[in-house]
Structure 1
Amino acid sequence: MEQADRFMIALSDVRLTLQSQAGGVNILRGVDLFAAPGEVLAVMGPSGAGKTTLLMLMAGLERASSGTVRVAGHDLAALDEDRLAAFRRDNVGIVFQGFHLVPAMTALENAALPLEFAGRADAFDRAREALAAVGLAARVDHYPSQLSGGEQQRVALARALAPKPRLLLADEPTGNLDGETGEKVMELLFSLAAGTTLVLVTHDPGLAARCGRVVRLRDGKVADGGTAAR
């Protein structure tokens, strides 16, 4: 237990089986993955290898069928849904390929959401600072429909980083953006997430090369790169 708690992420023999009409489908087949605080990991692998599922397990949005999932010192299997929500609120930021902004809310209101859920009195001040950090100080009152794709992803990045999470999970964050816009978003992500444990799912070898370690998934298992830096 003590050894596991020196890691930000400690997954041991993690398996996930989902049921379908044809029977059980093995998504993850005994994953071992360890990451130290502040590490930057790229997760790569073919479609269907379990990359996004792995992030969902780390965030407590999916439960493992067996094995141990410890993140930021918490055994996620031991937490009920309310405590998992509190765990995410206090420790995890997530950036998805789809921006997942609330259409009826302004950029400022979207960025402030997790801070409001946490009961922060300074939610809007911190959200405004986060939007300024991603270059959107002049767009705080705009709605998602009034923003470009790159601007929407920057709002999503500000929302994820405003609470200063210990762990940032990014699932193909440039997948819906053109190359130039995606590069700008990634520059912001790497610079603003400095010191935070970052797990980045990507198909881009160039992005993976900028990470401290590349974890390769194949057939629901870690084929390479699962050991944390010493």
Structure 2
Amino acid sequence: MLEACMISLSDVRLTLQSQAGGVNILRGVDFAAAAGEVAAVMGPSGAGKTTLLMLMAGLLAPTSGTVTVAGQDLTAMGEDALARFRRDNVGIVFQAFHLVPAMTALENVALPLEFAGRADAFDRAAQALDAVGLSQRRGHFPAELSGGEQQRVALARALAPRPRLLLADEPTGNLDGETGQMVMELLFSLSDGMTLILVTHDPGLAERCGRVVHIRDGRVAGDGPSAS
């Protein structure tokens, strides 16, 4: 049975300033997700999908409204508290991998665990790499890995701390179809029990989620069960 309200956004608005004046990115978004829920976020480019994820992660602050995740009001936290919150609760998988070039795969995955002060950081990192099928690539640097392997390292890094919330922003956007399918199979299987919010343009991926939220012009334009 799902817990209520892992994520709650209430009348969230975000306006960014440009030389031409204020640009309204989000225009009064209300959104809630239960613990263990899997939801896809879809919409055209520039609709505000990635911005929505960054707000859920506490990487952006709204201009107004409230963002509550795992019972914590992110809009009331300072940067240090937000960093601790992300460390303890949130995993993020980006389209662009964001691996540290000078670190091996094992070191990249161990990094958030080391920040958390885990004495078993490298053991858990090794287990996470094993889970994504990269046990033989632990000592390789990102430049020595294919795009699919780099994304699997990024997935292992996000999952190794066992977060309550996993945010994935177009995780297959830089991969070919076959490799992307493999990465998504791993994402769905290894995130079991976590709340997963997936930004995607792929209707096939969205159908695998229990729910699809459509964002258009900074607003929720539709929210309901997937067609699967």
TM-score by length of 2: 0.96
Q: Distance in 2 between matches of 1:72 and 1:184?
A: 30
The aligned counterpart of 2:37 is 39
Q: Residue 26 in 1 paired to residue 29 in 2?
A: no
Distance in 2 between residues matched to 1:26 and 1:69, nearest whole Å = 18
| 1:103 and 2:105 are equivalent in the alignment | no
* CA distance in structure 1 between the partners assigned to 2:132 and 2:86 by the alignment: 22
Q: Which runs of 5+ in 1 are unaligned?
A: none
Pairs within 5 Å for 1:109-120: 109-120=107-118
Cα shift at 1:224:
1.1
State the partner residue of 1:77.
75
Match of 1:14 in 2: 12
Q: How does 1:61-210 map to 2 (within 5 A)?
A: 61-210=59-208
RMSD: 1.1
Q: Which amino acid aligns with 1:57?
A: L
Q: Distance in 2 between matches of 1:226 and 1:71?
A: 21
Per-residue CA deviations over 1:43-73 (Å, capped at 9, x if unaligned) read 0000110000000000000000000100111
Alignment partners' CA distance in 2, 1:226 and 1:52: 19
Q: Is residue 2:201 matched to residue 1:215? A: no
- How many pairs does the alignment contain? 223
Kindly provide the amino acid, as one letter, of the partner of residue 28 in structure 1.
L
Instruction: State the secondary structure of the residue aligned to 1:6.
Output: coil
User: Does the 8 A contact of 1:13 with 1:68 survive in 2?
Assistant: yes
> Which residue identity is paired with 1:190?
F
1:141-194 superposed Cα distances (whole Å, 9 cap, x missing partner)? 000011000000000000000000000000000000000000000000000001
Q: CA contact under 8 A between 2:54 and 2:60: conserved in structure 1?
A: yes
2:58 is matched with which residue: 57, 60, 64?
A: 60
State the TM-score, normalizing by the size of structure 1: 0.96
CA–CA distance in 1 between the matches of 2:4 and 2:74? 16
Give CA-to-partner distance per residue, 1:108-134, whole Å, 9 cap, x none.
Answer: 000001000000000000000000000
Matches of 2:55 and 2:119 in 1, distance apart?
Answer: 30
